[in-house]
Amino acid sequence: MHFPNDYSEEYYKQLVAEEVTKITSSKGVETVFISNTKQRRNEALDVTKLALAGLYRMYLKYFEVMNVNRKARKRKEIRPSWQIFWDLFEGEEITEESEKKEDN
């Protein structure tokens, strides 16, 4: 991820407020816990995770809807690709050439 230069130190402290703890059982099963045991502020982390989850959901839904439309027009489905997603997000068209490039 990229962040602007003008974010405060407090913002970055909130991004790293939670800690990861790994516990391995006697049977060798590893369990990972993520917690904020020191009760530090973590709103920036929560909002960042929520935004990333929304972006990922939008990404999957976009290709699902697009492929339903393509199937109805008897066109080949397109596998989800972040590059195609960002290209379309920026207003570019899907061409046969870009479809072939994604297949390789």
Q: Which tens digits make up the pLDDT trace of 32-53? A: 998 888 898 999 999 999 999 9
pLDDT at residue number 103: 54
Distance CA(54)–CA(46), nearest Å, equals 12
> How many domains is the chain built from?
1
Distance CA(30)–CA(23), nearest Å, equals 6
For the chain, give the percent of residues with pLDDT over 90.
Answer: 54
Domain annotation covers residue 31: yes
- Model's pTM, two decimal places? 0.63
Instruction: Indicate whether 91 pLDDT > 70.
Output: yes
Domain annotation covers residue 4: no
| C-alpha distances out from residue 19 to 1, 10, 22, 93, Å | 19, 17, 10, 43
Give the range of the structural domain holding residue 76, as residue numbers without chain letter: 9-103
- Name the token pair of 39: 């009760």
Domain annotation covers residue 1: no
Domain annotation covers residue 3: no
Q: Determine the average pLDDT of the residues in 42-66.
A: 92
Q: Which of 74, 69, 19, 76 is nearest to 42 (CA)?
A: 19
Distance CA(52)–CA(48), nearest Å, equals 6
